[in-house]
Structure 1
Amino acid sequence: MATRHNHSEHSGDQLVDEAGKVLSDAGEQWTAMREDVFRALADQQRPASAYDIAEEVGNRRGKRVAANSVYRILDLFVRTNLANRIESANAYLANTHPGCRHDCVFMICDDCGQADHFDDDKLTNALREAGRAHGYANVSPVVELRGLCSDCAG
C-alpha cells in the first residue's frame, strides 16, 4: 500500500512564494528569471520541456529566452526539490509541495501526456536498498509507470 506523507499542497501565488522560500533556505537566490521559470512551469497542466518553458517565459517577457538558461534553472529546481523531472519524457513538473523530500512514483499517460504521482516508501526504500546491496551509494530511485489515464482508457 502506498505511504501517505503529511505535506501541504500549494497552488498559485502560494506555491510560488513557498518555492522562493525553499530556494532561499537552500542558499540560492530567488531571481526574477527563476520566478518566471517557476511560474511558467507551475502553470503547465502536463509535464513540460525546457523548450516549452523557454517559449512561455519569452512570451511573458516579450523577448526570446534561451532553452539552455531554462535547463540550468530547471536542474537547480530539481536539485532543490522545487520540480520533478520525468526522465522518460525529458520533461518537468512543478513540485506542489516544495521542501517535502520523498521519492515519487510517477504515472504518465501514453495518450494525453498527463502525469500524476503517488508516494510509496516501501517500494522506493526497497529500490534504494537494492542499489546499496549492489555497491551503490546515494541511490535515488526514479520510478515511472506508463499506461493510459482513466480519461483515455475509458
Structure 2
Amino acid sequence: MCCSLQASAAAALSSLSPPICSAATRRRREGTGLLSFPTPHEHPVSSFFWISRMATLRNLKIKTSTCKRIVKELRSYEKEVEKEAAKTADMKEKGADPYDLKQQENVLAESRMMVPDCHKRLETALADLKATLAELKESNEQGAEIGEAESTITEVEAVVKPTED
C-alpha cells in the first residue's frame, strides 16, 4: 500500500514539473509560431558577431555618456570655484572672523583641487571614447550612436584644449 502511494505521488509530481529545457527548445518541439532565436550552439559565428556588435555599440553609448557626465561635472566645479572665490573675497572685504575666513579658504582650495582631477578623468574618458569609435569605424558600422559620439568628441575637445594652452 505504501509503495503504491509513493508511486502515485511521484507520478503526480512529474506531471506538475516542467521538462528541463530552454524556452527555444520547447518552442521548436511544439512547433509554435513564436520567435525563436538561435542559440550559440546552432550558429556560433553569427551569434558571436551580433553579441559583439551590440556590446561594442553599447560600450560606445556608455563611453559617450561618461564623457558628457564628466563635462557636466567639470562645469559644475568651475562654477563652484567662482562662487566660493567670490564668497571668500566678500568675507575678506567685510573683515570676517579669521577662523571662518580660514574655513572658507579651505573650501575654496578643495573646490579648486577637483578641477584638475575632472580634467584628468575627462582626458582618459575621451581617449577611451576615441578608441571605441575607431574600432567601430574599422568595422564599417553605421548608426546614430556614432554621430552622437563624434559630436561629443568635438565638444569635449573644445573643453579640454583651452586648459592645455
Fold conserved between structures, TM > 0.5:
no
CA radius of gyration, larger in: 2
Which structure has more RCO (C-alpha within 8 Å, separation ≥ 6)? 2
Question: Comparing both structures, which one devotes a greater share of its residues to strand?
Answer: 1
